[in-house]
Structure 1
Amino acid sequence: MHSHEFVQQLDVITADQWGAHLPAHVVEQLPAQGITVFGVTDDASDTAAFSARYGFGLEDCANTIVIRYKKDGGEHYAALVSLGSRRLDVNGAVKAVLGAQRLSFAQRETAVEHSRMEFGGITAFGLPQDWRILVDAAVMERMQIVMGAGVRAAKLLLSPEVLRQWPRCEVAELTLPLSAE
């Protein structure tokens, strides 16, 4: 199945309607070109259910995970974008890239409060300016990826190239294959 056939099956939200469906601070940061926004039902918002319902493989679903870390005596947040088919190497690669002394996954409430997005729908676009946004190198190898859109009721379909051209995106090796222990 080709990607254009996919898009026809999706409940596409046109750019002039983004503001009615997505948080304003997400819409402000979305690149004008190269992104398709589409609606999803809440029960299909989580990655595995979404994958089964819409036919996108886990290797095409990019999750945005919020972490909190300590560095130079201060507390910071970062967002990690990685594929559903890979495992974040949090205490190795991620820690090294951030130069963090300690890090942990942000608690659900904290992630929601700071991102001002719905849990399960957090996306890289629209996050606070002082957050680092790290995208796993494996994401860049895909033809297209699906990401959260700030709410559970929508997703973004885009080429990783859109992320590569986005000034806030830092590409780094952050993950291991799921099979690796």
Structure 2
Amino acid sequence: MANYLLGALETVPALSRLDLLAPSTADFLRGFAAADRVGVVEIDPEFSDTAATRDAYALAPEALVNCVIVAGKREGIERIAACLVPFTKRVDVNNAVKRRLDVRKASFLPQDRATGLSAMEFGGITPLGLPWPVLLDEAVAELPLALIGSGIRKSKLILPGDLLARLPQAELLAGLGVRISG
């Protein structure tokens, strides 16, 4: 069972607290063979954004993972992907994502579209249960423990990075994350 300690956060098995999961996240985990390795922790929704979570719960930035939804069009057809990068990096939308989606221009989905299409809350979007490709920076797959959204703002999931790389629609993408300077 997934009982992890990360900074000041101690998890319980995710499927033992369905009230802390978006419906699509719970549905995905019910059918995921490694669901017993996914933990969930309740947090104050005011601290759901990654930087606020880091500060409020004394977390090392290396363990925090951002999930952003990007899209582009090719021949009138929209192509969408979720991108996972460590908090210490930004998604290379103009190069890596654009090439992978095979579009002229890729951009972040506006907040209302990202939350509407994912059926998740902003600040809590998770790759678990999304219908699109999940593009991962290689560093995410190497994390001993990664903190990601749960689909809602009042909780976070903690799981080994190798599980994220084993999601059915996951793809490791070289150059996805670009280190943030400063």
On whether the aligned pair clears a TM of 0.5, the verdict is: yes
After TM superposition, list the pairs within 5 Å mapping 1:57-72 onto structure 2.
57-72=60-75
- Scaled by the length of structure 1, what TM-score is found? 0.87
Equivalent residue in structure 2 for 1:76, among 79, 82, 85: 79
Is residue 24 from structure 1 mapped to residue 23 from structure 2 by the alignment? yes
How big is the shift at 1:176?
Answer: 1.3
What is the match of residue 59 of structure 2? Answer: 56
Q: 1:91 to 1:9 in 2, by over 3 A?
A: closer
How big is the shift at 1:111?
Answer: 0.5
User: How many pairs are equivalent?
Assistant: 175
Q: Which amino acid aligns with 1:142?
A: L
Greater mean alpha carbon deviation, residues 86-95 or residues 22-31: 22-31
What is the match of residue 145 of structure 1? Answer: 146
What is the match of residue 160 of structure 1? Answer: 161
Q: Which amino acid aligns with 1:67?
A: V
Kept in 1: contact 2:124–2:153 (CA 8 A)? yes
Kept in 1: contact 2:43–2:154 (CA 8 A)? yes
Greater mean alpha carbon deviation, residues 115-124 or residues 45-54: 45-54
How far apart, CA to CA, are the structure 2 residues paired with 1:66 and 1:78?
Answer: 6
How far apart, CA to CA, are the structure 2 residues paired with 1:119 and 1:154?
Answer: 12
After TM superposition, list the pairs within 5 Å mapping 1:4-23 onto structure 2.
6=5, 9-10=8-9, 12-23=11-22
How far apart, CA to CA, are the structure 1 residues paired with 2:148 and 2:108?
Answer: 19
After TM superposition, list the pairs within 5 Å mapping 1:46-125 onto structure 2.
46-125=49-128
Kept in 1: contact 2:4–2:12 (CA 8 A)? no
RMSD over aligned Cα atoms: 2.0
> Where in structure 1 are there 5+ consecutive unaligned residues?
none
How big is the shift at 1:8?
Answer: 9.3
